[in-house]
Amino acid sequence: MCGIVGYSGLRPAVPVLLNGLKRLEYRGYDSAGVALQAGGDLVVEKREGKVAGLADALAAHPEAEALDGATCGIAHTRWATHGPPTEANAHPHLSKGRLALVHNGIVENHVMLRERLKAAGYEFRSETDTEVLVHLVDSLYEGNLLEAVTKALQEVEGTFGIACLSRHEPGILVVARRGSPIVIGLGEEETIVASDASAIIKHTRQAVYLDDNDVARIDGGEVEIRSLDAMPVSRATSEIDWSADAAEKGGYEHYMLKEIFEQPE
């Protein structure tokens, strides 16, 4: 289980996403990537190795100006479980250029889903279990990302923290969790999501922790949460009162203690 960061708001997304990934680096990872809504398209950039390498690639990108203007995006640091640590296997994964998705966790029924999606004409570009998720959501997408993600996850066995974007829904992020944490940081007309509070604390201390099988749609400062059976649910907002340094360690004195106490999850 590695790192997820997402942003929807009014500010440039890239610095928020890269800063968030850097705050998650302590967990260890083998590759990193981002997907941005830029100029009506989804632009994905990913790299083996460090977040600094990804930052350099973004700065040198031919569409760097459009990327700098993007105000909605998702980012990931991967710890490979299915497929080696290569650029092709790094997240985000794309489906038909219209959906992008990052995932922490393991899809247990990925073989069956992959066969079904291949038979339906989907081309797989990676060896990951994650790529089935983005194509599955795409196969159910009819213009409403929240609905498509909800339907898709009903078919998924295993664990996930995910963040997803559509080319056709500017400013909209959809996130969900089961057995892999997602925290939603509430700002002024903006929202920062992450797999760990340390990635949001620079921007806000107001946090909503998703429960298992929650799916949330984020549009700037607006957050709507539903259960996987599509019923509205409300989750309490809590205040993160740790320092940035303590937040990285989840309130524990040492990283080792944090890892030990996170084991049940």
Identify the residue among 129, 190, 196, 248 touching ligand GLU (CB under 6 A): 129
Q: Report if residue 79 touches ligand GLU, rule: CB under 6 A.
A: yes
Q: Report if residue 105 touches ligand GLU, rule: CB under 6 A.
A: yes
Stretch that binds ligand GLU, among 33-41, 51-59, 61-69, 104-112 (CB under 6 A): 104-112
The separation between CA 197 and the C-alpha centre of its own chain, rounded to angstroms, equals 14
Residue number closest to ligand GLU, CB atom:
2
Stretch that binds ligand GLU, among 12-20, 54-62, 78-86, 201-209 (CB under 6 A): 78-86
Q: Report if residue 164 touches ligand GLU, rule: CB under 6 A.
A: no
Query: DSSP secondary structure string, the chain?
Result: --EEEEEESSS-HHHHHHHHHHHHGGG--SEEEEEEEETTEEEEEEEES-HHHHHHHHHT-TTHHHHHH--EEEEEEE--SSS-S-TTTSSPEEETTTEEEEEES-BTTHHHHHHHHHHTTPPP-SS-SHHHHHHHHHHT-SS-HHHHHHHHHHT--B-EEEEEEETTSTTEEEEEEEBS--EEEE-SS-EEEESSGGGTTTT-SEEEEPPTTEEEEEETTEEEEEETTS-B----EEE--S-HHHHHTTT-SSHHHHHHHHTT-
Q: Report if residue 88 touches ligand GLU, rule: CB under 6 A.
A: no
**Closer CB to ligand GLU, 110 or 203, in the complex:** 110
Identify the residue among 82, 96, 116, 202 touching ligand GLU (CB under 6 A): 82
Q: Report if residue 2 touches ligand GLU, rule: CB under 6 A.
A: yes
Q: Please report, to the nearest 10 degrees, the dihedral formed by the alpha carbons of residues 182, 187, 191, 197 taken in order.
A: -20
Cβ(183)–Cβ(238) under 8 Å? no
CA distance 243 to 3: 20
**Closer CB to ligand GLU, 67 or 133, in the complex:** 133
Q: Please state the closest distance from residue 28 (CB atom) to ligand GLU, in A.
A: 10
Identify the residue among 52, 66, 80, 228 touching ligand GLU (CB under 6 A): 80
Query: Mask 23-62, x = binds ligand GLU (CB under 6 A)?
Result: ----------------------------------------
Identify the residue among 52, 57, 68, 81 touching ligand GLU (CB under 6 A): 81
Identify the residue among 23, 103, 177, 249 touching ligand GLU (CB under 6 A): 103
Q: Please state the closest distance from residue 234 (CB atom) to ligand GLU, in A.
A: 28
Q: Which residues bind ligand GLU (CB under 6 A)?
A: 1-2, 78-83, 89, 103-106, 128-130
